[in-house]
């Protein structure tokens, strides 16, 4: 099998480099490890099968996130069922940097807030980039970030005891 190259990286290198990003997007969206695994695999299968022309790693990462979100949305539409984290305690995602201590709080938020907060704080995308990835207006993303932060404060405990 000939190696496929995406943004200068062989397929296996892409999987190793971006596996944590894709799995965290899937877990944040689905709140279920087993379902997230399916969407994770489908995302990388899609990359291999479609072989899109991607010239830089920034575009590659954005493409993978967008496809992962679409895979999760398709999965939700097909299955229309959720298993809560209380029922499925096997979720164990390693988040980069210090985000791990708020990941539980992010999982408590609605998907629309969880996605933008995850992309902004964990993946460190700018508002315009998030808007492009999610196919939303930048002002909508700003509003979702603002409201999501407020909801996150109430879940996480707020500041100064409110």
d(CA 139, CA 127): 9
Given pLDDT bands bounded at 50, 70 and 90, which one contains residue 87?
very low
| 133 lies in some domain | yes
Residue burial 107-122, b: 16+ Cβ < 10 Å; e: rest: bebebebbbbbbbbbb
Residue 26, domain extent: 1-83
45 & 114 share domain? no
Distances (CA, A) of 16 to 23, 100, 111: 12, 20, 26
Given pLDDT bands bounded at 50, 70 and 90, which one contains residue 26?
very high
Q: What is the DSSP string of 60-128?
A: HHHHHHHHHHHHHHHHHHHH-----TTT-TT-----STTTHHHHHHHHTS-HHHHHHHIIIIIS---HH
77 & 118 share domain? no
- Examine the fold and report which residue of 29, 49, 83 is the final residue of a domain before the chain moves on: 83
CATH code of the domain covering residue 32: 1.10.1740.10
58 & 123 share domain? no
4 & 52 share domain? yes
53 & 131 share domain? no
What digits encode the pLDDT tens for the residues 139-158?
Answer: 999 999 999 999 888 876 65
| 13 lies in some domain | yes
Q: Which of 89, 113, 102 lies closest to 34 in space, CA to CA?
A: 89
What digits encode the pLDDT tens for the residues 37-61?
Answer: 999 999 999 999 998 988 899 999 9
* Per-residue pLDDT, 137: 95
132 & 59 share domain? no
| 121 lies in some domain | yes
- Examine the fold and report which residue of 83, 108, 128 is the final residue of a domain before the chain moves on: 83
Of the two residues 135 and 81, the one the predictor is more confident about is 135
CB-based contact 145:117 (threshold 8 Å): yes
11 & 42 share domain? yes
- Examine the fold and report which residue of 30, 51, 83 is the final residue of a domain before the chain moves on: 83
pTM strictly above 0.85: no
What digits encode the pLDDT tens for the residues 124-133?
Answer: 899 999 999 8
Distances (CA, A) of 38 to 22, 44, 114: 11, 10, 20
| 108 lies in some domain | yes
18 & 77 share domain? yes
């Amino acid at each position: 099998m000939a190696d496929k190259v995406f943004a200068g990286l062989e397929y296996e290198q892409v999987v190793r480099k971006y596996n944590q990003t894709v799995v965290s997007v899937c877990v944040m969206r689905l709140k279920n490890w087993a379902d997230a695994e399916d969407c994770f695999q489908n995302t990388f299968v899609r990359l291999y099968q479609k072989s899109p022309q991607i010239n830089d790693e920034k575009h590659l990462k954005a493409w993978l996130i967008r496809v992962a979100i679409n895979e999760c949305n398709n999965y939700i539409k097909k299955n229309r069922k959720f298993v809560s984290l209380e029922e499925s305690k096997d979720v164990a995602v390693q988040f980069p940097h210090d985000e791990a201590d708020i990941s539980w709080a992010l999982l408590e938020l609605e998907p629309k807030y969880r996605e933008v907060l995850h992309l902004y704080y964990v993946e460190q995308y700018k508002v315009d980039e998030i808007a492009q990835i999610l196919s939303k207006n930048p002002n909508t993303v700003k509003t979702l970030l603002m409201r999501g932060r407020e909801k996150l404060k109430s879940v996480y405990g707020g500041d100064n005891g409110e």
